Amino acid sequence: MKKIQVSHLSFGYHKENPVIHDASFSIEEGSYTTIIGHNGSGKSTIAKLMIGLLESDSGVITVDGLELSEANIHDIRDRIGIVFQNPDNQFIGASVADDIAFGLENHRVPSEQMQGIIEEFADRVNMRKFLNSEPTKLSGGQKQRVAIAGVLAMKPQIIIFDEATSMLDPQGKAEINALIQDIHAQSNLTIISITHDIEEVAHSDHVIVLDGGHIVLDGSPDEVLFHEQELIDLRLDIPYALKLQHALKRQGLETKPCTTMEGVVDELCRLRLKN
Amino acid sequence: MPITFKELTHEYNAGTPFAYLALDAIDLSITEGAITAIIGETGSGKSTLVQHLNALLLPTEGSLTVLDRTITATEKPKQLKELRKRVGLVFQFPEYQLFEETIAQDIAFGPKNFGMSEEEALSKAKEMLQIVGLSEDYLERSPFELSGGQKRRVAIAGILAMDPEVLVLDEPAAGLDPQGAKDMMELFVRLNKELHKTVLLVTHDMEHVLNYCDHVVVVDNGHIVQTSDKLHFFQDTSLLHKLRINPPAIIRLRDELNQRGFDLPCDILDTEVLAKAIADEVKHHE
Ligand SMILES: Nc1ncnc2c1ncn2[C@@H]1O[C@H](COP(=O)(O)OP(=O)(O)OP(=O)(O)O)[C@@H](O)[C@H]1O
Ligand SMILES: Nc1ncnc2c1ncn2[C@@H]1O[C@H](COP(=O)(O)OP(=O)(O)O)[C@@H](O)[C@H]1O
Ligand SMILES: [Mg+2]
Ligand SMILES: [Mg+2]
């Protein structure tokens, strides 16, 4: 089922200078979609249009078949959570605990359940020790953990992550990704992740590629990632798995093309044992 | 002269119930004229550490020597302005570095502040904007009406415009697109190799550490737990595991294959060499 449908969306911060051009795409319920593109290609702008924070110049966005408009903006915002690119733009509470609580209040969570939920999610992102700290005085990666906890705690049906783990150390990032995958697997959460991490893209269900406000590729990771030259021309990266396969080819070893590390390892082990 | 930290401690909100010991008596020496990566987990103290280099933060105890200056808890270095010109610091969140009405004015601010004429400073701004990969069209735009990655580029341009001797960058590639990150790292290498600038950068990207840096410093919970040259650092996989560092893709792949029966040498850090070793083994396996 289509969870979100975007048709012929156009937008400019200044009318004379459009930054999104006639964009159309749809997002399946329960899927993990990644959006990639060069700096300034329009990723964050599309995210803000989808939650109704910016108003489009033309085009239609529907969520669960409901057309985004002034009248049902609150209904739609109840379904979508977002983690902004700069977490400072989303903190409202004076402490980490207050901050998570604000979001829960907005989602009308009964106050007797709040404390439990706050502690559970602070724990899951490893920030329990910081519940009384001021969010703006945390380190960059800690801010990102808190922003993620706040959104997960509200249990929305859709979450948009705008480069939400860009300041986490690789190990921390792997832990947070595992947490998100876990919640994704257990619920029917629809995830949209704006990212520059090509390995994350290789593991997603669906990839949308933006270039100067135009959607230029849209499909499964395999459909998109094998457009290697095009991706490089778009200032993007290709997965390490593909880089290695090219190097192997130069050494006279042909492998079945694949975009993930696990895939290449399996393929190489198979070839080795076959010989 | 190296940059040296001597038993430097930094406690936030010292003497209050919110006191937080972010750096605990660290001793550290950073080679002049090299590129040093500062890595470590979220909240380990990396940003706190680098903000001491231009006296944005002062030590609670201990001292730090950078260029010919010594900075301690009680001695604010004289001529702070000159220090901040010679040691350029790009913040982790570039937003906090942008304040002028136009991007041109924003980048020109530093050079003007250090005595360059308006005209020279604006021409410098134009040059720097191009170096960080933004077109001239942006000069007259507001720095606040930019995408995240574009803001970071402008913040870096503003610091480069002052032509500092020591360049300190807190996660400079976070939010840059892959080509942008690569271009930026290559720019830092050029500034280091050609103009002999000392470069210190905080990063989480192990590919960047492997490909562009000379030395590695690992911070953990307010302590320095490791300083090594890059090659030794990445050859010791067990150390990486002990430090909870997720190695670069090439090492993960090599280790994964070795666990599954391959016998690939542990000093391979280059994809072409790895590919050759893999191909040899696949073809000659009996
Ligand atoms: N508040 C604003 N006012 C005017 N123009 C803006 C504003 N925010 C962004 N833009 C412009 O809109 C375009 C798209 O920006 P957007 O933030 O959507 O890019 P992005 O793909 O998220 O980039 P990044 O990877 O750098 O985060 C860019 O050209 C940018 O300069
Ligand atoms: N202004 C501040 N006030 C209080 N604590 C702070 C402040 N800035 C950072 N901290 C704390 O100090 C520790 C180290 O932070 P920081 O140096 O920013 O870490 P990182 O290694 O992620 O850059 C963290 O636990 C952080 O929460
Ligand atoms: Mg963005
Ligand atoms: Mg930091």
A165-199: pLDDT as tens digits: 999 999 999 999 999 999 999 999 999 999 999 99
A133 in the same domain as A257: no
Instruction: Output the domain CATH number for residue A33.
Output: 3.40.50.300
DSSP code per residue over chain B: --EEEEEEEEEETTTSTT-EEEEEEEEEEE-TTSEEEEEE-TTSSHHHHHTTTTTSS--SEEEEEETTEEEESS-PPSSHHHHHHHEEEE-SSGGGG--SSSHHHHHHHHHHHTT--HHHHHHHHHHHHHHTT--GGGTTS-TTSS-HHHHHHHHHHHHHTT--SEEEEESTTTT--HHHHHHHHHHHHHHHHHH--EEEEE---HHHHHHH-SEEEEEETTEEEEEEEHHHHHH-HHHHHHTT----HHHHHHHHHHHTT----TT---HHHHHHHHHHHHHH--
Atom of ligand 1 nearest to the CA of A45: 18
pLDDT (tens digit per residue) in A211-246 = 999 999 999 999 999 999 999 999 999 999 999 999
Instruction: Output the domain CATH number for residue B202.
Output: 3.40.50.300
Question: Structure tokens of B241?
Answer: 């595991």
B254 in the same domain as B180: no
B272 in the same domain as B162: no
A247 in the same domain as A168: no
A218 in the same domain as A147: yes
Question: How is residue A85 annotated by DSSP?
Answer: S
A114 in the same domain as A179: yes
B69-72/B61-66 β-pairing = antiparallel
Helix (H) or strand (E) holding A75: helix A73-79
B253 in the same domain as B243: no
Contact in structure between A84 and A147 (CB atoms under 8 Å): yes
Report how many domains make up chain B. 2
Question: How is residue A33 annotated by DSSP?
Answer: E
A206 in the same domain as A259: no
B209 in the same domain as B280: no
Which ligand number lies closest to the CA of residue B154?
A: 1
Task: Measure Cα distances from B270 to A246, A262, B170, B248, B273 in Å.
Answer: 14, 20, 27, 11, 5
Ligand 1: does its nearest atom lie under 6 Å from the Cβ of A144?
Answer: no
Report how far residue A165's alpha carbon sits from residue B1's, in angstroms, rounded to the nearest whole number.
Answer: 37
A177 in the same domain as A54: yes
Report how far residue B118's alpha carbon sits from residue A27's, in angstroms, rounded to the nearest whole number.
Answer: 51
B172 in the same domain as B240: yes
Tell me if residue A80 falls in helix, strand or coil: strand
Q: Residue A29: is its pLDDT beyond 80?
A: yes
B94 in the same domain as B151: yes
B155 in the same domain as B90: yes
A139 in the same domain as A41: yes
Task: Measure Cα distances from B238 to A121, A155, B37, B210 in Å.
Answer: 32, 39, 20, 17
Q: Which residues pair with A80 in a beta bridge?
A: A158
Q: Residue B286: is its pLDDT beyond 90?
A: no
Report how far residue A225's alpha carbon sits from residue B50's, in angstroms, rounded to the nearest whole number.
Answer: 38
B266 or B116, which is more confident: B116
B273 in the same domain as B218: no
Does the pTM exceed 0.80?
yes
Quickly state the pLDDT bin for B195 (edges 50, 70, 90).
Answer: very high
pLDDT (tens digit per residue) in B48-107 = 999 999 999 999 999 999 998 999 998 776 788 899 999 999 999 988 899 999 999 999
Which of B13, B23, B177 would best serve as a mutation to test chain A binding (most A beta carbons within 10 A)?
A: B177
> What amino acid occupies position B134?
L
Containing domain of residue A70, as a range? Answer: 2-235
User: For the ranges A56-60, A155-159, A168-172, B152-156, which has the lowest average pLDDT?
Assistant: A168-172
Ligand 1: does its nearest atom lie under 6 Å from the Cβ of B38?
Answer: no
Least Cα separation, residue A141 to chain B (angstroms): 5
Containing domain of residue B284, as a range? Answer: 248-286
B284 in the same domain as B232: no
A208 in the same domain as A83: yes
pLDDT mean across residues, chain B: 94
Could you give the ipTM of this predicted complex? 0.93
Give the residue from B275, B174, B141 showing the smallest Cα distance to A39: B174
pLDDT (tens digit per residue) in B211-240 = 999 999 999 999 999 999 999 999 888 888
* pLDDT over 90 percentage in chain B: 85
* B41, B171, B260 member nearest A269 (Cβ): B260
Least Cα separation, residue A65 to chain B (angstroms): 30
Report how many domains make up chain A. 2
A88 in the same domain as A20: yes
Mean pLDDT within A16-42: 97
